[in-house]
């Protein structure tokens, strides 16, 4: 059974997709890992720390877009198993632009893939969605650690912290216990106020009914 040219191009594009996805995932992982290592060593304000985290994430996304753009350019010029068509002149920046609109799932339609690049484009769109979600799940706990309470109480890092145990195996003092007690007292106070307000409204209604009966 002979393999046709289209089948060979499809197999080649599948292999290239695995390679490009692996490189991009490795780049994203290493960027976020180095960010966690470097950030505690920076003697800067919390606002600048957040800007540092977002800048590192944006750098990772930009680098992944360039990796795919270079891959498109190499495939079109050296492997000749696919290319981009439309309003194109064949310049290198157009491949970076095409990679950007594919990674972000923007898809303006002025450029479109042909041949084996169709599979690579679909995989890049899926990769971009996964990497953006990865960045969101990374930045939320980091923001909670930087800003502290009350943001940390609503972040993933603060919500799922393990309860400390004493040497005897009993639960120790949990963080933010004062905050929890004050919140509970606040809720109880509000409930008492609401109950008193409801009673006052009932008395007003009862007085109004009695006056109507007298008339």
Nearest Cα to 56, choosing from 71, 33, 38, 35?
A: 35
Phi, psi of 202 (to 5 degrees): -65, -40
| pLDDT classification of 177: cutoffs 50, 70, 90 | low
Of the listed ranges 72-81, 89-98, 129-138, 173-182, the one predicted with least confidence:
173-182
Residue 107: both structure tokens together: 């898809």
Gyration radius from the chain CA atoms: 29
Residue 18: both structure tokens together: 């695995």
| pLDDT classification of 130: cutoffs 50, 70, 90 | very high
Nearest Cα to 57, choosing from 163, 133, 146?
A: 133
Pairing state between β 111-115 and 82-86: antiparallel
Provide the 8-state DSSP code for 165: B
Name the strand (E) or helix (H) holding 115: strand 111-115
- pLDDT exceeds cutoff 70 at 203: no
Domain layout of the chain by residue ranges: 5-159, 174-215
- pLDDT exceeds cutoff 60 at 171: no
- pLDDT exceeds cutoff 60 at 183: no
C-alpha–C-alpha distance, residues 163 and 172, integer Å: 7
Strand-pairing partners, residue 83, are 114
Provide the 8-state DSSP code for 164: P
- What pLDDT does residue 81 have? 86
From first CA to last CA, the distance across the chain in angstroms is 103
Residue 70: both structure tokens together: 């270079």
Residue-wise pLDDT for 28-62, tens only, equals 999 999 998 998 888 888 888 889 999 999 999 99
Please give the average per-residue pLDDT across 71-98, as a whole number. Answer: 91
- pLDDT exceeds cutoff 60 at 206: no
Class (C level, CATH) for 5-159: mainly alpha
- pLDDT exceeds cutoff 80 at 107: yes
**Average pLDDT value for the chain:** 77
Residue 85 near residue 114, CB atoms below 8 Å? yes
| pLDDT classification of 96: cutoffs 50, 70, 90 | very high
Which of helix, strand or coil describes residue 12? helix
C-alpha–C-alpha distance, residues 55 and 35, integer Å: 10
């Amino acid at each position: 059974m002979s393999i046709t040219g289209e089948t060979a191009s499809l197999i080649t594009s599948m292999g290239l997709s695995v390679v490009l996805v692996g490189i991009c995932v490795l780049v994203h992982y290493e960027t976020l890992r180095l960010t966690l290592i470097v950030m505690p060593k920076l003697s800067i304000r919390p606002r600048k720390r957040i800007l540092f985290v977002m800048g590192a994430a944006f750098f990772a996304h930009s680098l992944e877009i360039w990796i795919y753009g270079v891959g498109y350019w190499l495939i079109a010029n050296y492997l000749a198993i696919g290319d981009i068509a439309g309003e194109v002149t064949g310049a290198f920046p157009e491949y970076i632009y095409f990679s950007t609109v594919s990674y972000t799932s923007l898809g303006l339609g002025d450029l479109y893939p042909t041949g084996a690049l169709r599979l690579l484009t679909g995989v890049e769109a899926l990769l971009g969605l996964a990497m953006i979600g990865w960045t969101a799940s990374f930045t939320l706990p980091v923001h909670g650690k930087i800003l502290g309470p009350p943001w940390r109480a609503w972040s993933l890092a603060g919500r799922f912290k393990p309860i400390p145990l004493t040497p005897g195996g009993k639960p120790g003092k949990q963080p933010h216990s004062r905050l929890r007690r004050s919140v509970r007292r606040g809720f109880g106070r509000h409930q008492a106020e609401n109950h008193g307000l409801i009673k006052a409204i009932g008395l007003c209604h009862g007085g109004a009914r009695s006056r109507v009966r007298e008339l």
